[in-house]
Structure 1
Amino acid sequence: MTEHFFNTPDNPLPDNAVGGFFKARDGRQIRYARFAATGRPEKGTVILLQGRNECIEKYFETVRNLSARGLGTATLDWRGQGGSDRLIRDPQRGYVRSFRDYADDLDIFFKEIVLPDCRGPYYILAHSTGALVALLASPRLVNRVQRMVLLTPFLGIPGQCYSMKAIRLMTTVLTLLGLGRLYVKWGPPKAAAPFEVNELTSDPARYRRNTSMFDAHPRLALGGPTVRWLRAASAAALAVSRPDFMARMRIPTLIVAAGADTVVSTRAIARYARYLRLSSLLTIDGARHEILQEADFYREQLLAAFDAFVPGNEEEIFTAA
């Protein structure tokens, strides 16, 4: 099933890949991939949840890292991006009705792909938007997932004078006025920013690999988020931050923040981790937002923390950071 993937010379498909589509509750086709472990002993499967405007191919290197550790990987492109069905007439606009749609897709992914075909136990490794979805879906994951590693979860926007409550209110008003499909930032896909001004990684080779992938396969790319997407994201961030929701969290969780993150709020992440039960916080000083795409100096710190935490023992959760 390698026809479901998009390779470039510097980003080849990992071994033991299986890909395809499953149908969401509303009939949308969601692209997924499974990668069997090559290392031994086999330790289970990591459910890899990507961020906004990402795709399966961006994580081929991470899949190889996990595979060598004896961990299989299962991942999916969120609805509206990558190789999954787009949701509105203009496929370039980053749009979703609600983050609960993402959580519902994840639930079906577990039932139809992960549980029947992937070796347990199961762990989550999630980035940014994916980390927020993992938190939102955690009540349904508690009997499925042993541990979660959440990288730079989208819980706030740095440098903003508006709170997430204010953002939700403003975007709700704009949506009710029929403006939900307007871009809120960036606009349509365009040529990648020069490496020197990018906010995502300090590694030029990985940045070039990722931009080359989208240049070679533009159908995988996505433009900026819409008003409706930002409304959905702010609503989800507020939902998972409610004290009653946080009190029900029962999955041991390692939260990783990037010290030089300018995309999501590191302060909001630290505040969240402080009040979340069964959680530990690791801040990687100097790292930018996409830690798995970062320079080895930062990336290896993350992988070392991951190795200490997954599969790990229960008492390690408070010492992993």
Structure 2
Amino acid sequence: MADETQDGVLHSTADNPAPGNSFTGFFEGVGGVRLRYAVFRSDVSLAKGTVVLLHGRNEFIEKYYETINELTAQGLWVATFDYRGQGGSERLLTKHPRKGHVGRFDHYVRDLELFLERVVLPDTRLPFYMLAHSTGGLIALKAAPRLANRIERMVLTAPFVGLGPQRISIDNLKRLTRLMSWTGFGARCLTEDEGERPFEGNALTTDPKRYQRNQKLMRDYRQLTVGPPTARWLHEAFKTMEEVRDPRHLASIAVPTVIVAPGNDPIVPYGFQESLAQYFRAAQLVPVPGARHEILQEADRYRNQAIAAFKAFIPGGDPEGDA
């Protein structure tokens, strides 16, 4: 049976209990949008720093409890929030709250900066690191030139820097979403809201247990989920991908970075991530052959490689005294 925790801000189920030792709340993002956040403290007396955790599109805090527990067990605090328009944060299209929408990708970046200023800096422990998945990786890359004095190191898993094959060509998809955005149809979706999808043939993970756990979360707390992205969201995403892939932008990033790249990712094909790393002098690429897109939700044989890469790169990631 599902139950609520932390004054109803976070949600917990029997097979996905919320980590303890946390505080939660809401902060105002750009334009006064109400954004849900949570900070999870480590029980280790001397904290080794704080990981700022950024999710993918149509994800939310509850989906990352397993990863959060692993990080806090290593002496790291975790600070995370739901993006505008998804999870437990305020929706942007009040008449159509399930549409995955954003006005500008810059709003995501500014929300991140406000989160760092209003929650992370005053209420957590130095030094600060970043772990960002998919769309979170795209946001982190766009913000990265301004993060050098705040974030020590970044780990990006399957950053959303390219899109795999779709029903229409990517070039035509770019033209269509740009036209729709410019002509007042940016709030429309190009596909239907399909709801739950079967495990067989999914693009996210080879692990049936974790897949079913996440599907149950989305069934129990449908209010946290969104449907397909709007034309405007896609248009803004395509623009941001082109910006962050520009060698001049990549050269301006000074934050040391690891890119964990799943080798069997149909959403962000491996070639996009490999190409990104070629021009990103502050980054190193860690391929994980066979893994699908959501590597932190993957089978242990893949997921453990991502966690090991994180621990090897983030100072203080391994427990003191362990051989």
- Structure 2 length normalisation: TM-score? 0.92
Maintained 8 Å contact 2:30/2:107: no
Amino acid at match of 1:298: Y
Report the identity percentage. Answer: 46
Structure 1 residue 146 displacement after superposition: 0.3
When residues 189 and 17 of structure 1 are mapped into structure 2, their CA distance, relative to the original with a 3 A threshold, is farther
Where in structure 2 are the equivalents of 1:66-81 lying within 5 Å?
66-81=71-86
Unaligned runs of 5+ in 1: 314-321
Residue of structure 1 aligned with 2:42, choices 23, 27, 37: 37
2:225 is equivalent to residue 225 of structure 1: no
Structure 1 residue 303 displacement after superposition: 0.8
Match of 1:250 in 2: 254
- CA distance in structure 2 between the partners assigned to 1:222 and 1:163 by the alignment: 23
Single out whichever of 124-133 and 37-46 deviates more from structure 2: 37-46
Maintained 8 Å contact 2:33/2:90: yes
- CA distance in structure 2 between the partners assigned to 1:107 and 1:118 by the alignment: 15
Where in structure 2 are the equivalents of 1:39-118 lying within 5 Å?
39=44, 41-88=46-93, 89-118=95-124
Unaligned runs of 5+ in 2: 1-5, 318-323
Cα-to-partner distance string for 1:24-46 (whole Å, 9 max, x where unaligned):
13011000000001246521000
Residue of structure 2 aligned with 1:182, choices 188, 191, 202: 188
- Structure 1 length normalisation: TM-score? 0.93
When residues 208 and 57 of structure 1 are mapped into structure 2, their CA distance, relative to the original with a 3 A threshold, is same
SS of 1:93's partner is coil
The number of residue pairs the alignment matches comes to 310
Maintained 8 Å contact 1:128/1:153: yes
Where in structure 2 are the equivalents of 1:96-175 lying within 5 Å?
96-159=102-165, 162=169, 167-175=173-181
Maintained 8 Å contact 1:40/1:69: no
CA RMSD, 1 decimal? 1.6
- CA distance in structure 2 between the partners assigned to 1:245 and 1:230 by the alignment: 21
Match of 2:13 in 1: 8
SS of 2:160's partner is coil
- CA distance in structure 2 between the partners assigned to 1:245 and 1:83 by the alignment: 32
SS of 1:138's partner is helix
SS of 1:6's partner is strand
Amino acid at match of 2:119: I
Match of 1:316 in 2: none
SS of 1:268's partner is helix
- CA distance in structure 2 between the partners assigned to 1:305 and 1:188 by the alignment: 35
Cα-to-partner distance string for 1:31-85 (whole Å, 9 max, x where unaligned):
0000001246521000000000000000000000000111110000000000000
Where in structure 2 are the equivalents of 1:190-229 lying within 5 Å?
190=195, 192-229=196-233
Match of 2:28 in 1: 23
Structure 1 residue 189 displacement after superposition: 5.4
Maintained 8 Å contact 2:48/2:316: no
Residue of structure 2 aligned with 1:306, choices 282, 304, 310: 310
- CA distance in structure 1 between the partners assigned to 2:187 and 2:309 by the alignment: 39
Amino acid at match of 2:65: F
